[in-house]
Structure 1
Amino acid sequence: MTKFKTLLPTSTAGSLPKPSWLAEPEKLWSPWKLQDEALNEGKQDALRVALQEQVHANIDIVSDGEQTRQHFVTTFIEHLTGVDFEKRKTVKIRDRYDASVPTVVGAVSREKPVFVESAKFLRQQTDRPIKWALPGPMTMIDTLYDDHFKSREKLAWEFAKILNQEAKELEAAGVDIIQFDEPAFNVFFDEVNDWGIACLERAIEGLKCETAVHICYGYGIKANTDWKKTLGSEWRQYEQAFPKLQQSNLDIISLECHNSHVPMDLIELIRGKKVMVGAIDVASNLIETPEQVANTLRKALKFVDADKLYPSTNCGMAPLSREIARGKLKALSAGAAIVRNELKLTLA
Structure 2
Amino acid sequence: MTLHNLGFPRIGRRRELKFALEQYWRGEITQAQLLTQAAQLRRTHWQWQADAGIELLPVGDFAYYDQVLTLSATLGALPARHLQGEVTLDTLFRVARGRAPTGKPAAAAEMTKYFNTNYHYLVPELSAGQTFSICWQQLFDEVQEAQALGHQVKPVLLGPVTFLHLAKTVGEPFDKLTLLPQLLQAYQQLLARFAALGVTWVQLDEPALALELNSAWQQAYVQAYDTLQTAQVKLLLASYYGSVAHHQSLISALPVAGLHLDLVTAPAQLPLFANALQPGQVLSAGVINGRNVWAAELDQLAQTLAPYARQLGERLWLAPSCSLLHTPVDLDVETELAESLKSRLAFARQKLTELQELQLLLQTPDCAKAQEITLRCIRRREQQAAAADVAVTARLAGLSEQDFQRHNVFAKRQPLQQARLQLPLLPTTTIGSFPQTAVIRQLRNRWRGGELSHEEYTRQLQQITKDTIERQLKLGLDVLVHGEAERNDMVEYFGEQLTGIGFTRYGWVQSYGSRCVKPPLIYGDVSRPQPMTLEWAEYAQSLTDKPVKGMLTGPVTILHWSFVREDVPRETIAYQLGLAIRDEVADLQQAGISIIQIDEPAFREGLPLKQCDWAEYLRWAVAAFRLSASVARDDTQIHTHMCYSEFNDTIEAIAAMDADVITIETSRSHMELLDVFEAFAYPNEIGPGVYDIHSPNIPSEEEMVALMTLAAKRIPLGQLWVNPDCGLKTRRWEEVEPALQHMVSAARELRRRLG
What interval of TM-score do these two structures reach, taking the shorter chain for normalisation?
0.7 to 0.9
Name structure 2 gaps, 5 residues minimum: 1-415, 608-613
1:117-266 equivalence runs, <5 A: 117-147=535-565, 149-189=567-607, 190=614, 193-208=618-633, 209-217=636-644, 237-260=646-669, 262-266=672-676
Q: Secondary structure at the match of 2:649?
A: helix
Name structure 1 gaps, 5 residues minimum: 25-29, 218-235
Cross-structure match for 1:111: 529
Deviations 1:35-72 (A, max 9, x none): 31111112211111111111111110001111221212
Counterpart residue type for residue 661 of structure 2:
I
* Alpha-carbon separation, structure 1, partners of 2:477 and 2:712: 20
* Alpha-carbon separation, structure 2, partners of 1:171 and 1:32: 32
Q: Per the alignment, do residues 164 and 200 of structure 1 end up closer, same or farther by CA in structure 2, a change over 3 Å counting? A: same
Counterpart residue type for residue 475 of structure 2:
A
Q: Per the alignment, do residues 156 and 149 of structure 1 end up closer, same or farther by CA in structure 2, a change over 3 Å counting? A: farther
Deviations 1:187-224 (A, max 9, x none): 2233652311111000012202111220013xxxxxxx
Q: How much has 1:152 moved relative to structure 2?
A: 2.3
The answer on whether the counterparts of 2:658 and 2:684 sit within 8 Å (CA) in structure 1 is no
Q: Secondary structure at the match of 1:43?
A: helix
Deviations 1:60-96 (A, max 9, x none): 00011112212122111111111122376455779xx
Deviations 1:91-125 (A, max 9, x none): 5779xx75222312222111110000111111110
Q: How much has 1:273 moved relative to structure 2?
A: 1.0
* Alpha-carbon separation, structure 1, partners of 2:522 and 2:653: 30
* Alpha-carbon separation, structure 1, partners of 2:549 and 2:460: 21
* Alpha-carbon separation, structure 2, partners of 1:93 and 1:211: 30
Cross-structure match for 1:64: 482
Cross-structure match for 2:200: none
Structure with the bigger percentage of helix: 2
Q: Secondary structure at the match of 2:550?
A: strand
Q: How much has 1:327 moved relative to structure 2?
A: 1.4
Q: Percent of aligned positions with the same letter in both sequences?
A: 26
Q: Secondary structure at the match of 2:417?
A: coil
Counterpart residue type for residue 16 of structure 1:
F
* Alpha-carbon separation, structure 1, partners of 2:543 and 2:596: 18
Cross-structure match for 2:687: 276
> Which of 438, 441, 462 is matched with 1:20 structurally?
438
Q: Secondary structure at the match of 2:695?
A: coil
Cross-structure match for 1:80: 498
Matched, 1:306 2:731: no
Counterpart residue type for residue 196 of structure 1:
A
* Alpha-carbon separation, structure 2, partners of 1:106 and 1:332: 44
**TM-score of the two chains, using structure 1 as the length reference:** 0.85
Deviations 1:165-184 (A, max 9, x none): 00111111222221111111
Cross-structure match for 2:752: 341
Cross-structure match for 2:696: 285
- Larger relative contact order (CA 8 Å, sep ≥ 6): 1
The answer on whether the counterparts of 1:160 and 1:200 sit within 8 Å (CA) in structure 2 is yes
Give the RMSD, CA atoms, in angstroms.
Answer: 2.2
* Alpha-carbon separation, structure 2, partners of 1:111 and 1:148: 23
The answer on whether the counterparts of 2:479 and 2:549 sit within 8 Å (CA) in structure 1 is yes
Cross-structure match for 2:428: 10
Q: How much has 1:277 moved relative to structure 2?
A: 1.7
* Alpha-carbon separation, structure 2, partners of 1:66 and 1:148: 32
* Alpha-carbon separation, structure 1, partners of 2:444 and 2:459: 16
> Which of 706, 721, 725 is matched with 1:295 structurally?
706
Q: How much has 1:150 moved relative to structure 2?
A: 4.4
Deviations 1:205-244 (A, max 9, x none): 2202111220013xxxxxxxxxxxxxxxxxx611233212
* Alpha-carbon separation, structure 2, partners of 1:103 and 1:205: 27
The answer on whether the counterparts of 1:288 and 1:328 sit within 8 Å (CA) in structure 2 is yes
Q: How much has 1:157 moved relative to structure 2?
A: 0.9
Q: Secondary structure at the match of 1:240?
A: coil
Q: Per the alignment, do residues 149 and 279 of structure 1 end up closer, same or farther by CA in structure 2, a change over 3 Å counting? A: farther
Counterpart residue type for residue 721 of structure 2:
Y
Q: How much has 1:6 moved relative to structure 2?
A: 0.9
Counterpart residue type for residue 630 of structure 2:
E
1:26-41 equivalence runs, <5 A: 31-34=444-447, 35=452, 36-41=454-459
Counterpart residue type for residue 733 of structure 2:
R
Number of residues of Structure 1 aligned to a counterpart in Structure 2: 319
* Alpha-carbon separation, structure 2, partners of 1:19 and 1:92: 24
Q: Per the alignment, do residues 260 and 150 of structure 1 end up closer, same or farther by CA in structure 2, a change over 3 Å counting? A: farther
Matched, 1:319 2:730: yes
**TM-score of the two chains, using structure 2 as the length reference:** 0.40
The answer on whether the counterparts of 1:106 and 1:148 sit within 8 Å (CA) in structure 2 is no
Q: Secondary structure at the match of 1:134?
A: strand
Matched, 1:42 2:460: yes
Q: Secondary structure at the match of 1:112?
A: coil
* Alpha-carbon separation, structure 2, partners of 1:242 and 1:177: 23
The answer on whether the counterparts of 2:667 and 2:691 sit within 8 Å (CA) in structure 1 is yes
The answer on whether the counterparts of 1:114 and 1:166 sit within 8 Å (CA) in structure 2 is yes
* Alpha-carbon separation, structure 2, partners of 1:192 and 1:317: 30
Q: Which stretch of the first structure deviates more once superposed, 316-325 or 140-149? A: 140-149
The answer on whether the counterparts of 1:103 and 1:144 sit within 8 Å (CA) in structure 2 is yes
Q: Secondary structure at the match of 1:70?
A: coil
* Alpha-carbon separation, structure 2, partners of 1:335 and 1:105: 47
Q: Per the alignment, do residues 207 and 156 of structure 1 end up closer, same or farther by CA in structure 2, a change over 3 Å counting? A: same
Q: Per the alignment, do residues 196 and 270 of structure 1 end up closer, same or farther by CA in structure 2, a change over 3 Å counting? A: farther
Q: Secondary structure at the match of 2:602?
A: helix
Q: How much has 1:21 moved relative to structure 2?
A: 2.3
The answer on whether the counterparts of 1:264 and 1:299 sit within 8 Å (CA) in structure 2 is no
Counterpart residue type for residue 169 of structure 1:
D
